[in-house]
Amino acid sequence: MRPLKMLNFQNLRIGTRLGLAFAALVSLLILLALIGIHQLNQVVTDTDLIAHNRLPKVSLAQTIENEVNRQSRAIRTALIATDAKVVTAELEKIELSAPIITDALKQLQATIETPEGKTALVQITQARQVFKEHELELIELIKANRIEEGRKYLVNEMLGPQAHYLESVEAFAQTQKEAIDYFAAEAVQTALLGKTFMLTLAVIAIVTAALVAVATTRSITQPLNQLQTLLSDVEKTSDFSKRMTQHGRDEVGLTAQAFNQMLDAQQRAIREVNQVVAAIAAGNFDTRIQAELRGDLAAMKSAVNDSAQSIKETMGAVNGVMQSLYNGHFNVQVQAQVQGDFKVTLDRAKQATDALQTMMGDIGHVMSSVSQGDLTSRVQAQGRGDLEQLKNNINLSLDTLARTLKEINTNTQLLATQANQTSHAVEQISAGADTQTTAIRQVSTALRMSADSISEVSSNTESASYQSRESVALVRSGKEKMLQMAEVVQNIAANSQKINKISEVIESIAYRTNLLSLNAAIEAARAGEQGKGFAVVADEVGKLAISSAESTKEIALLVKQASTEAKRAVETVAGVNEDMNRIEEGAGKTDGMLQRISAAVEEQSSALQEIDVNVANLSHIAASNANASEELTATAIELAKIADNNRREVEMFSF
């Protein structure tokens, strides 16, 4: 019998069960509210009577009492004060206070309804009348400046009526306070009674609600616990094959049936989602969910299929971008219509290709400018990471190349200038060598003439006595020629010194040229592959400088020897000159001296032969100097041409 009742109860809708329980609770609450409202209205009535009737009357009584005390203080102050202004001010306070008391009494007369209150109010009015009469008398004494009489009148006549006046006011206030206490006690009693009724009904409502709640809760929680257990099992095991066994016709039973249907739909959806995800994981983006789903599962189906399609389009677009980059094409258009992270991925791929296109385009433009000789262009495109490093390396390389070519251009111009100076100096040396050769030829001719003359003198020594005058003339002529020869030899010595200085200049130029070739070789080494050709030129210039230095040293050695021989020739000529002087002086003295003259002439002949040999050597040396000068001139000209060619090659670039 009991299971049948439980079954019938479970067949009721949860809303019906809760409605019945709620109706019972509402009935109890309405009864509880009515009792509470009735009791609260009684309390409100008593409270309103206290607040708006009794308390204002007590307040008016206190106002009367305060004003009486204020008048009493003003009278005492007027009797004590000696300043007329103070006395007048205190009397004005009394006049101002009187209307306040009168108004308070009028309000009390209008609101007093109880016999006790009316009797007390009559007593206040009578006591006030007596007090006012004494007060007016005392005020007249004060105004008449009869202070001493006023003080006596205050003590003997007025204190009694004043005390009676205040006592009547306090008696009235006491009646009102007693009424307040009565109504307050009545309100408390009413509140306690209402509290008792409300607590009783609240207990009944709680017990009823508990019984209904237990019955309703058990009818709901038992199948819900089963549902919760099933949900927990599904959550833990992810086994969507489990099902509810509850078969009631209430909401829980219908929920169990709907839950079983939901599990069926989810099981089908998850099975196909797994198939799609497995296909995506295997790289197959064409698999889709085909099951007929509804609601959120249909949304999930659409989302999964859309995701697979987005992945397919994204991967296709990315593969297209990668293939374009592999083929060297950086102008890639991404056409896939995707959203979210897929769009972010494609946007970043597009940004990457745009950055590569911008950077490579700028680099191509700069390299094109470099190929046309313009080294002022720089890569301006903004990049990140390795692209920024590539940009910086290219710009740094161009800066270094421009700086190196600028230094090479400067050094080349300096080398050309030095080569021109060297050529000019060598031309001067060549001109000096030609002059030296001419002078040596003249000396050689003079020496031959001197030798012929001395030979003639030697052959005719025996007839010298007969031809002394002619000998003297010949000696004089020989003396003049010897002087000329001495001048020629001195010129040869001077020219030899000049040649020596020029050789030192050539040696200095060769040394500086060698240094320039070393510097050019160093700068060519810094330039790397582009500076190899200039390194070869610098090496050849260095070799020419070394050869020029060695030739200059040989010229200097020969010039030194020529200078030594010239000095010896000068000394010999000086000796011949002295001998000729002695011949001239002794030509007319004795014939014996002719033998000595003959011997001296023979010595002079030998010396002249030696001088002639030395002059021939000087001629050969001068010729060698001329040839070396021509070679140096040709070398300097070639060096200047090489420097000029290098300068023109470097000037093809703009820095």
Q: Which residues contact 546 (CB under 8 A, 6 or more apart)?
A: 510, 514
Strands (DSSP E) along 140-206, which ranges? none
- Structure token digits, residue 141: 């004494």
Residue 67 placed within a domain: yes
Instruction: Give the pLDDT confidence score for residue 2 in this predicted structure.
Output: 41
Q: Are residues 357 and 326 in the same domain?
A: yes
Calpha distance 287→285 (Å, rounded): 6
Instruction: Give the pLDDT confidence score for residue 79 in this predicted structure.
Output: 82
Residue 238 placed within a domain: no
Q: Are residues 156 and 264 in the same domain?
A: no
Place of tokens 């007093």: 112
Q: Are residues 572 and 474 in the same domain?
A: yes
Residue 607 near residue 576 (C-beta atoms within 8 A): yes
Residue 241 placed within a domain: no
Instruction: Give the pLDDT confidence score for residue 325 in this predicted structure.
Output: 64
Q: Are residues 331 and 437 in the same domain?
A: no
What CATH code is carried by the domain that includes residue 527? 1.10.287
Q: Are residues 10 and 118 in the same domain?
A: yes
- Structure token digits, residue 270: 């998850």
Calpha distance 623→430 (Å, rounded): 10
Instruction: Give the pLDDT confidence score for residue 5 in this predicted structure.
Output: 43
Residue 243 placed within a domain: no
Residue 272 placed within a domain: yes
Q: Are residues 42 and 154 in the same domain?
A: yes
List Cα–Cα distances, 297 to 242, 271, 300, in angstroms.
19, 12, 5
Place of tokens 């209150």: 117
Whole-model pTM?
Answer: 0.31
- Structure token digits, residue 604: 């002079």
Q: Are residues 305 and 365 in the same domain?
A: yes
Domain boundary among 200, 232, 264: 232
pLDDT tens track for 226-267: 777 777 777 777 676 667 676 666 666 667 667 676 777 766
Q: Are residues 186 and 308 in the same domain?
A: no
Q: Are residues 259 and 218 in the same domain?
A: no
Q: Are residues 216 and 270 in the same domain?
A: no
Strands (DSSP E) along 284-409, which ranges? none
Q: Are residues 258 and 209 in the same domain?
A: no
User: First-to-last CA distance in the chain?
Assistant: 112
Residue 242 placed within a domain: no
Calpha distance 505→429 (Å, rounded): 10
For residue 57, which of 167, 165, 178, 163 has the smallest C-alpha distance? 178
For residue 650, which of 460, 410, 414 has the smallest C-alpha distance? 410
Calpha distance 366→638 (Å, rounded): 36
Which amino acid does the sequence have at 278?
A
Domain boundary among 173, 202, 232: 232
For residue 605, which of 490, 487, 469, 457 has the smallest C-alpha distance? 457
Q: Are residues 218 and 347 in the same domain?
A: no
Number of other residues whose CB lies within 10 A of the CB of residue 542? 19
Q: Please report which residue ranges of 112-158 form alpha helices under DSSP H.
A: 115-143, 147-153
Instruction: Give the pLDDT confidence score for residue 473 in this predicted structure.
Output: 65
Bridge partners, residue 654, by sequence: 374
The number of domains in the chain is 3
Number of other residues whose CB lies within 10 A of the CB of residue 165? 25
Residue 384 placed within a domain: no
- Structure token digits, residue 634: 């040709």
Domain boundary among 371, 401, 432: 371
Residue 134 placed within a domain: yes
| pLDDT < 50 stretches in the chain | 1-7
Which domain range does residue 460 map to?
392-651
